[in-house]
C-alpha cells in the first residue's frame, strides 16, 4: 500500500507518537494516508484507539527494523 506522508517517531515514548500523528493528520486532506514509524510498544494500542476516537481509519501495522509501521487514513 502507498502512503502520502511518513512520520518518524522511532525512539519516542507515549504519548508522542499519537500527538505527532494527530498534528500531521490535521494538515492532510481527507483520504490521504500517513505512515507512522514507532518503536514504543504502546503505539500498537494507542494509535488504533486514537483513530477510533477521532474518525480516522486505522489500516494496520507491519514490523520494521527497530519497531513497527502503522498506516492511518485521514477521516473527515
The arrangement of strands across the sheet holding 5-9 comes to 5-9, 33-38, 67-73, 57-64
Pairing of strands 67-73, 5-9: unpaired
Helix axes 16-26, 43-54, angle to 10 degrees: 40
Question: Which residue among the candidates 14, 16, 28, 69 is catalytic per the annotation?
Answer: 14
Q: Is 51 a catalytic residue?
A: no
Active site positions, annotated: 14
Amino acid at each position: 500500500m502507498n502512503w502520502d506522508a511518513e512520520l518518524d517517531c522511532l525512539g519516542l515514548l507515549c504519548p508522542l507518537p499519537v500527538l505527532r500523528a494527530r498534528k500531521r493528520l490535521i494538515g492532510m486532506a481527507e483520504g490521504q494516508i500517513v505512515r507512522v514509524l514507532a518503536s514504543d510498544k504502546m503505539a500498537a494500542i494507542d494509535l488504533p484507539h486514537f483513530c477510533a476516537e477521532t474518525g480516522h481509519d486505522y489500516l494496520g501495522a507491519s514490523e520494521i527494523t527497530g519497531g513497527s509501521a502503522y498506516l492511518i487514513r485521514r477521516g473527515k
